[in-house]
Amino acid sequence: MNLFSIYFLVINIGTFLVMLEDKKRAINQRFRIPEKVLFLLTILGGSLGILAAMRFIRHKSNKNSFKITIALIVMLQISLLYIYLK
């Protein structure tokens, strides 16, 4: 496994776990993880982790502004990857 693969795996698992922690905090009415942090993790490569958390633990899946921002980040990342690989 190369360094990029390890980074990609770690950032996505970490992002999923941060979303899981935020959901637990929301349920227990505790201090929440700011959306800015979640967006930053997504930008840094945690897109699959965010999407998996939204799908499987149903966290922030009803908040339209969050879904739109995540979708825009993912589209930008796909576009950049396409340009890079072209």
The token pair at 35 is: 């959306």
Taking residues 55-72, report their average pLDDT. 95
Q: What is the pLDDT of residue 46?
A: 97
The token pair at 26 is: 């929301």
Q: Confidence class of residue 23 from pLDDT cuts 50, 70 and 90?
A: very high
Taking residues 42-56, report their average pLDDT. 97
CA distance 36 to 44: 12
Q: Confidence class of residue 9 from pLDDT cuts 50, 70 and 90?
A: very high
